Structure 1
Amino acid sequence: MASSADITRRQSIALVAGESSGDLLGSRLLAGVRERLPEVRLHGIGGEHMMAQGFASDWPMDKLTVRGLFEVIPRYREIKGIQDALRDKLLADRPDVFVGVDYPGFNLGLEEQLKKAGIPTIHFIGPQIWAWRGWRIKKIQRAVSHMLVIFPFEESIYRQAGVPVTYVGHPLAEVIPLQPDTRGARQRLDLNGPGRVVAILPGSRMSELKQNGAGFLAAARLLKQRDAQLQFVTPIGGDRQIAAFQEQIRQGGYEDLDISVIRGQSHSAMEAADAVLVASGTASLEVALYKKPMVISYKVNWASYQIMRHMAYQPWVGLPNILAREFLVPELLQHQATPEALADAMWFQLEDHAHQQRLARRFADMHQSLLRDTSRESANAVCEVIGARRR
């Protein structure tokens, strides 16, 4: 490890996060970096959580936020233009290290160019090559100086491929309490009715709301017919998304469900819930860390799904199931995600108490396996890369 005097002479770290989950993860890394390097300049692309750590975003993060193989096509020219402009800026500025926070489609291409030019690159959160993108390992070898991974089984994958790697734990395992306070969360959200609470999380992107929102709402109606006292809560991240979801409620005639649509507060909604209907992604892991029964669902553009389906080489999509290596919770994807199927699966999660207890035990074990001081571990790895370059 380089001395503190060596490291503190390094003045600049560049980072890119392309969506809200990456912004949160990036902020945890930056909190640790700030302790080690209080005067360092932090810049690139990020969101409000990273900016709270003194980060300067050279472009708005929402310019990059898009998901799906075909959904990106209309935005490709704009996103590629940002990538090229940022590359040129970084090649001129010569930061001491570049950290790509998730968002591999954008970051790996940028990292490859920077590493070739002699700028060390770190990728924080290994791309899910263990899920369906195994071919990416070759590009990772070219692009990444050091990989930071958040799941313990990933270390051996990258080590075998010759990519320096550090397991830093999952930041969410620190943020989310080991014991959820369901009653307190309901009080915070004014969910004071006598009925059980179902959280509905169709996704944070406009494309996700478009694909998942109507089906999730139709499933909620079917659940309400089985239990008239059910309470529904949906956390939504932005004004446009809230407006879009409320329009789906109006168009579908779901006003009678009296869904509590709240801005943000997704963790409180999960903590308050008896069961969660959630779009696949990081949110499903968050639900597991809150020890809640869930149904995982997802729909994407038909052509995107066909490509993804043929590239998959393991049976699971949801992170809790991937970590468990079994179907702990149901996954209803694409054409399987009918309102009837979603409602049936959710009803089981609400009604089977023995199943709920088994899930709580498995999710508690999962939580412990992911718990590390991620901020400190990731910051140490960043400083080690900077120090190695100086030596």
Structure 2
Amino acid sequence: MASFFLSVGEPSGDVLGAELVAALNDIMPHAHGFGIAGPKLRNLEYEEIAGIEELSVMGFVEVIKHITYLKRLEDRLLMEIDRRQPDFAVLVDYPGFNMRFAEFLKVRKIPVIQFVAPQLWAWKEGRTKKLRDVTDLVMGIMPFEETFFNDRDVNFKYVGTPQVDRAAAAKHRPADFKLSKPTIGFFPGSRRSELSKMLPMALAIRDEVRSQWPDKFQFAISMAPSLDVSLFNQALSADESSDLLSELSLGQSALLGDTSFVRGESLDLMASVNSALVTSGTATLECALTNCPLCVVYRMSPLSYQLAKRLVKLPHISLVNLVAGREIIREFVQEFTYEEVAQELAALASDGDRRETVLGDLTHLHTLVQGDLSRCAALAVQSFMNSRQSNI
């Protein structure tokens, strides 16, 4: 029986890895997978050698202990690999661990497939040589990566974008909005450090919209389920914070004045609002693919911003504009006023030329990306292995 090794290092990789393994089980039913697993992979016909929880502790210990722990984990995985001699290995994202581990696999002459390309097009371009040396195939999830990696002799194939299928599954949530007014959504992020900076800014921009257009709009704020509700109450004014937020279960909402607070199911919320303010990251592409007109805000400390300007060489910060190859949504980065952002959100949420232009550009964006990622990736793995075997 054929076998393959799989490495995932975080929850997002566990999701992608599980979807890929399910697709591989379908088209290559005689291939047995083993390796690192998270909750999603544990539900499949897949053998766990180590858990992603073992990798998540790294970074919270002293450097020497960190290195010792990492070495023990690598030795345990390599012992199983040496015993089983897998036909190929798939390393999902997580380049800090996987790029190093790929070297051990190459020494053993095991074909290495990297699933999700490291963002070397953003920074550390010089590492493309190492990527080329330690992998046999890189399966990328952004279409603009293809030219970058192929120009640098990396065997790269674009296999699809995960946000396509996720956005397609989003459902409209009209019941959340009790007022028959255009709704502006705010998506301040899913990490605590991100929320602490972005939520106060989002609330200030909401107040600016209220000031300029009294009673014209209603609002919705996305509450990531990974975040404690108390963080939202702390950012709200005393007369707006409410115990109702603490009682919300996943998918539920609470209406406080003109603002709905929605716990989880962010893509459904994106599909329901008339315009959105989103922090940079994959959420921008998710929002765009639900056909919701949006703009992006991002602000960091002055020192971090100057450092980023030197290290990151990109024409845009949002995946939407990077995929489009031009600016189709406005990016408010570092230096901007709340009034500017409020005016853009209001224009996007109202019938008019600005909204129609962005909606047309978002429609075209769909033609630049492809869905059905897990099946396309599994077929790419099968084709790659078939071609190798035919050349032997």
Instruction: Report the TM range for the smaller structure's normalisation.
Output: 0.7 to 0.9
Higher helix share: 1
Change in 2 beyond 3 A, CA 1:285/1:83: farther
In 1: Cα distance, 2:159 partner to 2:76 partner: 29
Q: Which residue of 2 aligns with 1:360?
A: 359
Could you say which structure has the greater relative contact order, defined with CA pairs below 8 angstroms and 6 or more residues apart?
A: 1
* Structure 1 residue 275 corresponds to structure 2 residue 262: no
**TM-score w.r.t. length of structure 2:** 0.80
Q: How far apart are 1:24 and its partner, in Å?
A: 4.0
Instruction: Write the deviation string for residues 65-120 of structure 1: whole angstroms up to 9, x where unpaired.
Output: 9xxxxxx9767848766654442232111154333333333432333343344333
Q: Which moved more, 1:266-275 or 1:155-164?
A: 155-164
Q: Match of 1:186, as an amino acid?
A: P
Q: Which residue of 2 aligns with 1:119?
A: 110
Q: Which residue of 2 aligns with 1:4?
A: none
Q: Which moved more, 1:54-63 or 1:305-314?
A: 54-63
**TM-score w.r.t. length of structure 1:** 0.81
Change in 2 beyond 3 A, CA 1:81/1:369: farther
Change in 2 beyond 3 A, CA 1:92/1:237: farther
* Structure 1 residue 146 corresponds to structure 2 residue 137: yes
Q: How far apart are 1:355 and its partner, in Å?
A: 2.1
Matches within 5 A, 1:286-365: 286-300=286-300, 302-333=302-333, 335-336=334-335, 338-351=337-350, 353-365=352-364
Q: Which moved more, 1:33-42 or 1:355-364?
A: 33-42
Q: How far apart are 1:379 and its partner, in Å?
A: 0.7
Task: Decide whether the 8 Å contact of 2:277 with 2:295 is kept in 1.
Answer: yes
In 2: Cα distance, 1:291 partner to 1:272 partner: 10
In 1: Cα distance, 2:159 partner to 2:17 partner: 13
Q: Which residue of 2 aligns with 1:6?
A: none
Q: Which residue of 1 aligns with 2:90?
A: 99
Task: Decide whether the 8 Å contact of 2:184 with 2:345 is kept in 1.
Answer: no
Q: How far apart are 1:213 and its partner, in Å?
A: 1.9
Q: How far apart are 1:337 and its partner, in Å?
A: 5.3
Q: Which residue of 2 aligns with 1:18?
A: 10
Of 199, 206, 210, the residue aligned with 1:224 is 210
Q: Match of 1:44, as an amino acid?
A: I
Matches within 5 A, 1:24-39: 24-38=15-29
Change in 2 beyond 3 A, CA 1:109/1:298: farther
In 2: Cα distance, 1:380 partner to 1:76 partner: 42
Rg comparison, structure with higher value: 2
Change in 2 beyond 3 A, CA 1:233/1:120: farther
SS in 1 for 2:160: coil
SS in 2 for 1:11: strand
Identical pairs, percent: 27
Change in 2 beyond 3 A, CA 1:319/1:227: farther
Q: Which residue of 2 aligns with 1:369?
A: 368
Q: Which moved more, 1:197-206 or 1:375-384?
A: 375-384
In 2: Cα distance, 1:76 partner to 1:227 partner: 54
Q: Match of 2:75, as an amino acid?
A: D
Instruction: Write the deviation string for residues 233-264 of structure 1: whole angstroms up to 9, x where unpaired.
Output: 33333343444233323579666656433332
Q: Match of 2:366, as an amino acid?
A: H
Q: Which residue of 1 aligns with 2:382?
A: 383
Aligned residue pair count? 369
Change in 2 beyond 3 A, CA 1:236/1:99: farther
In 1: Cα distance, 2:127 partner to 2:66 partner: 20
Of 64, 70, 76, the residue aligned with 1:89 is 76
